[in-house]
Structure 1
Amino acid sequence: MTKKRFLITAALPYANGPIHIGHLSGVYLPADIFARYLKVNKKEVLFISGTDEYGVPITIKAKEKKIEPQKLVDKYHVSIKKSLKQIGIKFDNFSRTTSKIHSKNSLLFFNKLYKKNLFLEYENYQYYDNKMKQFLPDRYILGICPNCKYKKAYGDQCEKCGIYFNIDELLTPYSAISKEIPKLKKTRHLYLPLNKYKNFLIKWFLRKWNQNKLLFKNNVYAQVKSYLKIGLKPRAITRDLNWGIPIPSSIPKMKNKVLYVWFEALIGYISSTIEWCERNKKDWKLYWQNKKTSIIQFIGKDNIFFHCLIFPVMLKAHGSYILPETISANEFLNIENRKISTSKNWAIWLHKYLKDFPNQQDVLRYVLIRNMPEKKDTNFSWNIFQKNNNSELVSILGNFIFRIMSFLKTKFNCFVPVPNKYFKQDIELLSLIKIYPKITGELIKTYKFRKALFKVFNLARIGNQYLSKEEPWKTSNNYTYRSNTVLYISLQIAGLIGYLLEPFLPFTSEKILRMMCLKTTKTTKTTKTTKTTKTTKWKSLFRANCIIKPGIKLGKNELLFNIVQDSEIKRQIKNMS
């Protein structure tokens, strides 16, 4: 079935702090590249996300700052949304889980499952911190892993061996908040019976594996296969907290309980879609309950369990929803060969980068995409940042565009020359670059963003080599005749780079296309007319055998990138330490 529309979701960032470059590299850049690619090729796309704003970490952070939880999440919702927008993550809707729409939608979803008698109800003992006067959630209990004996396992998962378990299986537990030994206290909760859906999950998850049409990346496949092999257990969906979406009072024995954050946060994708659809007078069910829609989710690898096992079970159990087409997860990005740790302040915060490097959004985007952890953990360092900028963005891409624009101004008064006779190397080069839109698109569609960016960047290398070999700046009559063709072909390469860079480096793409008069909206004061050239589908870029036509006067030359000085790198390294 041909998909009519695409719903792209990016994991909801948790609103207990600002966003860092690990989030960008793992989730938001891959999702943004994919959504931009589909949009530029005229697909119907809705790209959504929002902040995750409930749970114990929010209340703890609020206590530390001596403010109400709502004020805390209000602050970080604004900060995260602003930072993502400034770096060029182009959401159609960025919602939040404390919204009225989300509360209403979450309870509608919960009630549907409750009325179907889906949930199990257990009375059991859970750990309670007497000093803090609260029940302890899974991530706020530490102890010894029952599987590998790691001494700092969480209450629900061991980060060393990756196994998930129930909180009462943890050995020698203690409170991560007060360091006190918690007491067991009787409570009652509702559970989602994941174990009953094992056969469904196997069938759904492996639905095209045998046909060599894998819908999930290898890292996702391996982790989910491991979970299924170990076995699934019922998972609590309620918690004893005062910060969250309250369970309806009509539900017996569930007084003073809220929906567990992992349960309602997943519904946040649906709520964000509804919010956008209400604002734009669209039917949200077309995106979540119509088989002609393809849902593609981008997450970090620490969220694979929730998105690949729990969320599909929730959707299946409800009965009215379609399931995600695929779920893409990257590995982790380290910084200076150390794991990112927000608690230890070992991170590069996005809002700080944007302040320290104004108007250099695409430099960070380039470095992170170039070193994206698609198959394994990768490393970011400030020295790598400087090298990637100076040796590649400045010396290769920036240099190529600057060379041709400068020569065009000097020799042709900014007008695109009419090409003369094509030599063999010209014909071969034009044939070569025509395949780049298709190759780049195929790589993006298979989530190989690093390779896709490399392909586009290779065009600048090819362009520089072509200019250096042909030397159109020579002044003899033969070379003057030849320079028309060489510059004309170089401009075709530059225009192609401008289009193909859009999903990766949108700010640079905009500059290049503006210089080439390919994507600008300009109002001339004297005639009061507007000249607009619309974005072109990649597959039709060479339909007229050229991108930039002869005789057109191009725009003003713009410097794309600046050298990053040693002093700036030393300052950033000093700040990290």
Structure 2
Amino acid sequence: MTTRSRPAIIVAATPTSNGDLHVGHMSGPYLGGDVYARYLRATGRQVLYTTCTDDSQSYVVSTAHRRGLVPDELVRTSTDKIERSLSAMGTLMPGLPPIDDRYRATVLEFLTRLHAAGRFQLRKVQLPYARNAGAFLYDGLVTGTCPSCLSGSCGGACENCGHPNNFDELLDPKYTIDPTDPVVHRECEILVLPMEDYRERLTSYYAARTPRWRPHARQLIGELLSKPLPDIPVTFPGTWGIAAPFPETPGQIVYPWVEAMPASMYATWWTATQLGRTTAEVDELWRAEHDAELVYFHGFDNVYHWGLVDLVMLLAHGDTYTTPESNVCNEFYDLDGEKFSTSRNHLIWSADLLAEVPRDLVRFYLALTGPEFQRANFTRESLHSTSTRRLVTPWNELSDAIALAMVGVDGTRPLPTTEAGRWRAATVLKRFRLCYDLPGFSMGRAAETIVTQLGRLRALADAVDHRRNGEAPTQPGDLLLEARTLLACAAPIMVDVAADVAAQGVDLTISDDMPAEIRPFRFPSLPGTRSPSGHHAALDGVS
């Protein structure tokens, strides 16, 4: 199967259903996955872009307590908001799959097969325990100091350095819900999956795949492999989540992070079903014989889970499943120089921003300035000034110039293109492919390339009228071919422009074949955005 004919499964990190998606979330995996999926689809690939909410996370419990809500109600309202935000952003996802009995059965079947195959081991471990509450603590229920970088951290993994802190490794633990409740350590017997058993396969996999990763994530994997690999908790003595069915651990739940792979398979199956592609088994499209290109999009804080834990969960099934071709990992996006924070109300909800600013401008600006290789900063004023100066103004000047160049041209008949025009269009297409193809995928470089081509095409449009500048005239057909090439390559980012042009019957397929003639079309203009005046309540998370 050739690369261009392989089906692709693109998975964005599963969002926790404890709130909506703010701009920091949207700028990373959700926009990145959508742009990559749209690019592959434009090249003729069969693509499924999916995710699902991560309802079992303990962050649901801690957030619900902080907001005075019942966890189930928080999950329901958050899922609705996340789904609306993804739709408002124009992603290819047909929605979010329901977390229902079919979902839970998929998770349990995935884990039960591993249990039956003897992959899990029973371990006695020391766990943080809130003495007054009488509760074992994990992930979002416990905070403390990371033993690897000494920064503040929740349980499970450190957001700052990415290293895990399982069981009793977190220093100075505190109960998130009641920091005054003394935390001690108590022994408990749980099921684990020993990652060290998979070191040889992991080493081989990373040698082949991490050269396609971004440097920071690749470095973290190297750090993790340089020391003994931790055990993956499979069950945990908690109360929120899916009840574990294993006789060795009565009354325990499935550890939330081991749901990710069966959850992603379920989300893929549901998305395929929504698009009319039914399969007999939920995990069928992930099976190795389908040879799907599997790509994850997630933040650096999820490298340990999406880059290591989830890989081991697949490898534990032998050769049954495909493994990811790449993990596209983003860094943190700050707001006005500080980290986005829901608890401090320092954020901009994606849906609120999209209600105020045209969607293509939001997508372009996030693509241009997003934190691909290092932390980046979002400001509302910069969105306005940068998108106006670098995109809207030159784009609309080009639109006017093309309209002027087409005056007197018969718009009812195809226009011929020249060899020189086809060569220029093919050259530009190659530049965009380097921005969108793995391993060099970069929304930032794609957005910069859009800006670069606006200026070049403006000069080309002026050259159609040789009487105005004394240069050899550009053929109108060449101008339209190159403009169409720009529109096709901008379409993965600028979805409303793409819809406008497609409605005119313009083919936006990304192909190396350049036509000998092209039908005239209207180059669309872009709406502007107003300069923000102070803070806006909706944009600051205040209802």
Structure 1 length-normalised TM: 0.84
Task: Select 2:261's aligned residue among 266, 271, 287.
Answer: 266
Structure 2 CA distance, aligned partners of 1:331 and 1:291? 32
**Change beyond 3 A, Cα 1:266–1:292:** closer
The residue that corresponds to 2:226 in the other structure is 229
The one-letter amino acid paired with 1:191 is V
Output one character per residue of 1:78-104: Cα deviation in whole Å (capped at 9) or x when no partner: 2111211121111256324x3222200
**Change beyond 3 A, Cα 1:41–1:172:** closer
The residue that corresponds to 1:254 in the other structure is 249
Structure 1 CA distance, aligned partners of 2:409 and 2:256? 63
Task: Select 2:512's aligned residue among 539, 542, 551.
Answer: 539
1:19 has 2:8 as partner = no
Task: Select 1:449's aligned residue among 419, 443, 448.
Answer: 443
1:464 has 2:461 as partner = no
Q: How does 1:240-251 map to 2 (within 5 A)?
A: 240-248=237-245, 251=246
Structure 2 CA distance, aligned partners of 1:153 and 1:14? 18
Task: Select 2:41's aligned residue among 22, 39, 42.
Answer: 39
Structure 2 CA distance, aligned partners of 1:313 and 1:335? 35
Structure 1 CA distance, aligned partners of 2:535 and 2:466? 42
Deviation of residue 394 (structure 1)? 1.6
Output one character per residue of 1:37-69: Cα deviation in whole Å (capped at 9) or x when no partner: 111111122221111111222123333444432
**Change beyond 3 A, Cα 1:63–1:574:** closer
Structure 2 CA distance, aligned partners of 1:83 and 1:575? 14
Q: Check the 8 A contact 2:125/2:188 in 1, yes or no.
A: yes
Task: Select 2:378's aligned residue among 377, 380, 383.
Answer: 380
Structure 1 CA distance, aligned partners of 2:157 and 2:508? 47
1:565 has 2:538 as partner = no
Deviation of residue 497 (structure 1)? 2.1
Structure 1 or 2, whichever has the larger Rg, is 1
Deviation of residue 512 (structure 1)? 3.7
**Change beyond 3 A, Cα 1:68–1:282:** same
Report the number of matched residues: 531
Structure 1 CA distance, aligned partners of 2:153 and 2:332? 19
1:509 has 2:505 as partner = no
Q: Check the 8 A contact 1:270/1:288 in 2, yes or no.
A: no
Structure 2 CA distance, aligned partners of 1:51 and 1:431? 46
1:55 has 2:69 as partner = no
The residue that corresponds to 2:431 in the other structure is 439
The one-letter amino acid paired with 1:565 is R
Gaps in structure 2 of 5+ consecutive residues = none
Q: Check the 8 A contact 1:101/1:275 in 2, yes or no.
A: no
The one-letter amino acid paired with 1:317 is A
Task: Select 1:497's aligned residue among 486, 501, 504.
Answer: 486
Q: How does 1:191-206 map to 2 (within 5 A)?
A: 191-206=192-207
Give SS of 1:122's match.
strand
The residue that corresponds to 2:351 in the other structure is 351
The residue that corresponds to 1:334 in the other structure is 334
Deviation of residue 148 (structure 1)? 4.5
Give SS of 1:169's match.
coil
Structure 1 CA distance, aligned partners of 2:464 and 2:312? 61
Structure 2 CA distance, aligned partners of 1:216 and 1:126? 34
Structure 2 CA distance, aligned partners of 1:379 and 1:439? 27
The one-letter amino acid paired with 1:383 is E
Output one character per residue of 1:529-553: Cα deviation in whole Å (capped at 9) or x when no partner: xxxxx5434222x1x223x33xx5x
Q: Check the 8 A contact 1:334/1:378 in 2, yes or no.
A: yes
**43-52 vs 462-471, which deviates more?**
462-471
Deviation of residue 145 (structure 1)? 3.7
Q: Check the 8 A contact 2:145/2:170 in 1, yes or no.
A: yes
Structure 2 CA distance, aligned partners of 1:128 and 1:576? 36
Q: How does 1:315-334 map to 2 (within 5 A)?
A: 315-319=314-318, 320-334=320-334
**Change beyond 3 A, Cα 1:333–1:500:** same
The one-letter amino acid paired with 1:561 is P
Q: How does 1:520-535 map to 2 (within 5 A)?
A: 535=508
Query: Taking every aligned residue pair, what percent have the same amino acid on both sides?
Result: 23
**Change beyond 3 A, Cα 1:8–1:146:** closer
The one-letter amino acid paired with 1:192 is L
Q: Check the 8 A contact 2:59/2:139 in 1, yes or no.
A: no
Give SS of 1:290's match.
helix
Q: Check the 8 A contact 2:140/2:155 in 1, yes or no.
A: yes
Deviation of residue 147 (structure 1)? 4.2
Task: Select 1:8's aligned residue among 6, 10, 16.
Answer: 10
The residue that corresponds to 1:531 in the other structure is none
Q: Check the 8 A contact 2:435/2:446 in 1, yes or no.
A: yes
**Change beyond 3 A, Cα 1:572–1:396:** farther
Give SS of 2:208's match.
coil
Task: Select 2:360's aligned residue among 355, 359, 362.
Answer: 362
Structural RMSD (CA):
2.9
Q: Check the 8 A contact 2:296/2:327 in 1, yes or no.
A: yes
